[in-house]
Amino acid sequence: MDGVWSWADHRVIRNSGDPLIFAVDDASLFSLSREAHATLCRWRSSTDIELDKIPLPDQEVLRGLCDAHILLPRSQEKRALPRIQAGEVPLSTLVLEVAQDCNLRCSYCYAEAGTYGAAPCLLDPATARRAVRYLLDNSGEEEHLTLIFFGGEPLLNMPAITTATREAISYGEKIGKKVHFSLTTNGTLLDPEIIKFLHANHVSVAVSMDGPPHIHDRNRPDQKGMGTYGEIVPRLAMLLEESPVPVAARVTLEPDQWPSLVEVFDHLTGLGFHEVGIAPVSPVSKDLLPTAPQETALLQGFGQLAERCIAHARQGRVMPFSNILDLLGRIHLGQTKPVSCGAGLGYMAVDAKGDFFPCHRLAGEADFSAGSLATGIDAGKINTCLDSLNNGRPDSCSKCWARTLCAGGCHYENHLRENQLGLPRGTSCKFIRGWLELGIRTYAELRTDGAIEAMGCRLEGRAQC
């Protein structure tokens, strides 16, 4: 261990317990003893450290940091994450907009009442079948694929869903592919027959519900402006009964509702959902942009849920909060992201007309159309779109400690904020960093407690996408 060493990018996180150190490029997480931390602080501002010249016992601690790859040989080139191009990645997930129409009028809908800005229409079964074949034929070596039924409200178009499902199963059997089905619904149209179909085909269902009636009904009224909570609950009960797969709640909350985060979570788990995922609303209009205090409140709510997650884990239970489970899974593995999501890179959306978009949120945005079932996915167009979204972003990200966990954030969110609302780049960053740091602290506490064992393989299974 001769030679000159310099610091790899890292972040020290003070904790209630031992200080933590997160090495950015590896996404590795260590805890430091107080002495080791003190030593680190002494040397942190030095560059070009000649180990042999450092007095013991500092030298010993620094050697340990070399072993941990937090100190790297000065000559070692900085690792760049691979640049992934559309066309290099086989298709593995396809979102089918089976219905560009909806029976609800949710206040925050980014799909403009499900129509994505065009005339309401339904995906015809023949196109659905072609889309399924396209997925299976373009999935390369992938054996397990995912088909997501989306909309608008997908249950408005059961014929397309049933056709697509049957095609996926039979064609999949023929060419040796297994398709997993998912569906996101507002829940108001569930009936016994539909539920039977969903159960029989093990469709993973996410029901969009926003919490107790006063919150849910404000956000998610029907076309007449009436609340829909009452409609959904009995149907949900039917769906939950003997469901062979977990049923999840998909929550969207507006900034002024964020202080009610924990209440929403508790309410929905009380209804029997197996898992609850909560999303802060996408700012489709300026009045949905959060203020700084609102973001703080949101983080605090997440923090409370994280604490509860730890408490549950100590009792050997897994708290079913999707957001934290997903994040803990990635931190557990030390999974670094070369891109923020799979949009356009293995994950595509097809609208009701058979046109491709990089993801379900960008569907309907003319600038992001990327081919059609007739002509195939236009990889070049995807790369252009992603490049324009990422334009210069890697530079601003390059100095951020969270870059390997975040990798730039949701494309759609960035598009809304930067292109439509004209905000400068990086308005989500503070929140994202706060959230990621919360995840790291939570993980560290679970780990040092030994409580992580309860979560064990559940976490490893999460970090898939």
Binding footprint of other proteins on the chain (CB under 8 A): 1-2, 18, 20-21, 23, 26-33, 35-36, 60-61, 64-69, 331-334, 443-444, 447-448
Closest CA to 265 of 255, 276, 256, 274: 276
Closest CB 65 distance from other proteins, rounded Å: 7
Tokens of 439: 């995840």
Q: Residue 119, class by beta-carbon neighbours within 10 Å (0-12 exposed, 13-18 middle, 19+ buried)?
A: exposed
Return the number of the residue (192 or 338) whose C-beta is nearest other proteins: 338
Amino acid at site 146: T
Closest CB 5 distance from other proteins, rounded Å: 13
Closest CB 68 distance from other proteins, rounded Å: 6
Please, are residues 351 and 124 in contact by the beta-carbon 8 Å criterion? no
The full length of the chain comes to 465
Tokens of 338: 């070369």
Closest CB 15 distance from other proteins, rounded Å: 11
Give the whole-angstrom CA distance, residue 127 versus residue 356.
Answer: 12
Amino acid at site 121: C
Return the number of the residue (62 or 297) whose C-beta is nearest other proteins: 62
Return the number of the residue (275 or 445) whose C-beta is nearest other proteins: 445
Neighbours of 283 (CB within 10 A): 22
Q: What is the DSSP string of 5-25?
A: EEEPSEEEE--SSS-EEEETT
Is residue 57 reached through a cis peptide bond, with omega within 30 degrees of 0 on the bond before it? Answer: yes
Q: Measure the N-to-C terminal CA separation of the chain; round to a whole number of Å.
A: 38
**For residue 91, what are the contacts with CB-CB under 8 A and spacing of at least 6?**
134, 135, 138, 139, 140, 142, 145, 346, 347, 348, 377
Return the number of the residue (93 or 442) whose C-beta is nearest other proteins: 442
Closest CB 439 distance from other proteins, rounded Å: 11
Return the number of the residue (67 or 367) whose C-beta is nearest other proteins: 67
Return the number of the residue (68 or 289) whose C-beta is nearest other proteins: 68
Return the number of the residue (447 or 458) whose C-beta is nearest other proteins: 447
Return the number of the residue (32 or 389) whose C-beta is nearest other proteins: 32
Positive or negative torsion for Cα 85, 431, 13, 400: positive
Closest CB 304 distance from other proteins, rounded Å: 23
Do strands 371-372 and 376-377 pair parallel, antiparallel, or not at all (unpaired)? antiparallel
Return the number of the residue (68 or 423) whose C-beta is nearest other proteins: 68
Tokens of 209: 């519900």
Positive or negative torsion for Cα 296, 446, 65, 80: negative
Return the number of the residue (377 or 402) whose C-beta is nearest other proteins: 402
Closest CB 446 distance from other proteins, rounded Å: 9
Tokens of 264: 């929403």
Return the number of the residue (68 or 288) whose C-beta is nearest other proteins: 68
Give the whole-angstrom CA distance, residue 131 versus residue 125.
Answer: 10
Closest CB 21 distance from other proteins, rounded Å: 8
Closest CB 300 distance from other proteins, rounded Å: 24
Query: What are the φ/ψ torsions at residue 331 (nearest 5 degrees)?
Result: -65, -40
Closest CA to 284 of 156, 406, 116: 116
DSSP-derived 3-state class of residue 250: strand
